[in-house]
Amino acid sequence: MRGEVELSRVYEDEEVLAFLDHKPVFPGHVLLIPKRHVVTLDELDPEEVPGLFEKLRVLSRAVPLAAGGQGCFVANNNIVSQSVPHLHWHAVPRTKGDGLKGFFWPRHPYRDAEAQEAMRSKLEDVILQELILDFWFGPGNGPSSEFYVKRWFTQDADFDRVLRRRFGKTMETALAGGLQSWESTPRGRLALILVLDQFTRNLGRHTAAAFAGDERAQRLALEMVEQNVDQTLTDDQRVFAYLPFEHGESARWQELSLKQYARLGEQAGPKYQNYLTFAQKHAVIIERFGRYPHRNEALGRESTPEEKAFLEGPDSTFW
């Protein structure tokens, strides 16, 4: 049984394991189980509930996204029909007119092992993408709450430790050139930009590692804008889709930054004018020095006398 789970696993962390149902109602049908053995829902410890239901909530969105469904049916077991009772949830992709009769009939097996692996791989990608987007922006598809906004540009060691624990390996994979499949969808591309442009800055603060993902993030952001894909994102998501331009050490990137943040302010209203103001502050530095002097020490670059004088003043660093 464990071998079958390994082959069908779509997500795993210290709390939960999610894997493809071996007799799916529809392709993309996923089981989510807590790693601690629990028979029924009411046996969960209160402190276990938030983490488990965060994963279940994200799974209910990721499953139809990956499987091409219109919605998701989520069901919890009730001991009956289990050879070994263990708490678990079913997340089943649904579409109108899909022919589902009752809760779990008829079943639709995968065409073959290749089709099953393709679905498993896609689900693995989408689940992780959605966890990243939720972690950064919060749930839903609207403006982020103040709880999330105040974390974006604040140095917080506790927050960085959580970020490293949850997504440190994902960042390493992205920096090594992996996760290329994420580039094929707007949400996947946005999640990858966050990993390459923001997570790197949190986890590599004051070192060259902070900028290791910039080149790839800039390419991804540029392609989003050129294809007008950025217009499918929420206003808060667009803020981070354009940050790779602001971080670029060239007049070209700064021009793009100013253009996109001005456009965002016009379309989204006064609330987002502040991001244009910060973009302008960045652009002035690049126009003056052709680079960000505050990066010199981390990147092993010699600062000019003018840059040294600048670094002693206010608004000279963006760590």
288-304 average pLDDT score = 97
Residue 198 CA to residue 202 CA, distance in Å, equals 6
Which residue from 16, 24, 22 is spatially nearest to 3, judged by alpha carbons? 22
Q: Where, residue-wise, is CATH 1.25.40.10 in the chain?
A: 141-311
The answer to whether the beta carbons of residues 273 and 183 sit under 8 Å apart is no
CATH number of this structure's domain 2-119: 3.30.428.10
Per-residue confidence (pLDDT) for residue 2, from 0 to 100: 53
Report the first-to-last Cα separation within the chain, whole angstroms.
Answer: 48
The answer to whether the beta carbons of residues 292 and 246 sit under 8 Å apart is no
What pLDDT digit, counting tens, does each position of 28-70 carry? 999 999 999 999 898 999 999 999 999 999 999 999 999 999 9
Residue 90 known to be catalytic: no
Among the options 22, 29, 88, 108, which is catalytic? 88
Residue 264 CA to residue 273 CA, distance in Å, equals 8
Residue 288 CA to residue 277 CA, distance in Å, equals 17
Per-residue confidence (pLDDT) for residue 152, from 0 to 100: 96
| DSSP letter (8 states) at residue 158 | H
Inform me whether the pLDDT recorded for 4 exceeds 70: no
Inform me whether the pLDDT recorded for 239 exceeds 90: yes
Q: Where, residue-wise, is CATH 3.30.428.10 in the chain?
A: 2-119
CATH topology of domain 141-311: 1.25.40
Burial (0-12, 13-18, 19+ Cβ within 10 Å), 153? exposed
Tokens describing residue 105: 């009939």
Query: What is the pTM for the complete model shown?
Result: 0.89
Phi, psi of 206 (to 5 degrees): 70, 15
